[in-house]
Structure 1
């Protein structure tokens, strides 16, 4: 893992706490990951929001990185939406500012990015897609609903073993305002903090 990114994670873990209310919301995901880890099974997690453009990508990236940081093996994180749009550029910029190395590997209206968190780690592939896109798992995964709109509007996720609502406020509310960079950074780090909490609780 890149040194600066590892230091960012250490700072998040050392300096920030998760509220009891959020811990209760995160517990079902902890239980799912622990059950899979204890049985030696692959741990497939699909983070789902409406447009697969902001929160679900932050969650996919930070969960994958947190699992690596805490040495939890066989974790495979994905993201999807109830519709396909594009990964919002401010998300890419924010992750770059937070010490990821990001490469645009397909120039289309829905660009594809390789998001690297270490020289020898497989890159996380970021692009907008529907939750049931062939790129994502079709069975044996947990569906994590990261926005209330997707949670309410998509009552059935085919193939999901577990459906868990873990919603975050949309940083989109800051688009076009002077606070945009700050809000995106704060939302990213909130999600990082909570994903670190989840994987720190897993016992090998």
Structure 2
């Protein structure tokens, strides 16, 4: 009789554990789904922002500038230097084939995406730098992100973009990075002339 009771107790214990694990798994799945939906939304916003920036670049004559600055004398007014190089390589491999130029053109959005991304990061870098300039003590990337979220509720603030912007500021000498334990904190650089740029 006691063996039956012990077995049923063990079975009940396992059943309860399985039920709890199942609930935890379902909760985690919901969390991951929510995170995935959030990331997809961010990706959509970044893609829309990229399209706007690419259009602005075209309107402002951005694609002509890399060709003019290359200084190689082989100036093509309507094709940026990065695309021209890939296009020429594709034509050397398979001259006369339209397929090669399509591949080169397909790679062109990557060049524009890089330009668009750097323009967005510079904006966040400026915002982060302005915020830090008004602070009396070092701030972490999370604190800067939270402050920018509060200061700019109309914009989607991404912690990774803000962190990259802060690191960009460090690389340019506009900000200084310090470590306290495992945490990283940022402050405006001691020398201010670079910040004026």
Using structure 2 for the length normalisation, give the TM-score.
0.24
Using structure 1 for the length normalisation, give the TM-score.
0.23
Higher-Rg structure is 2
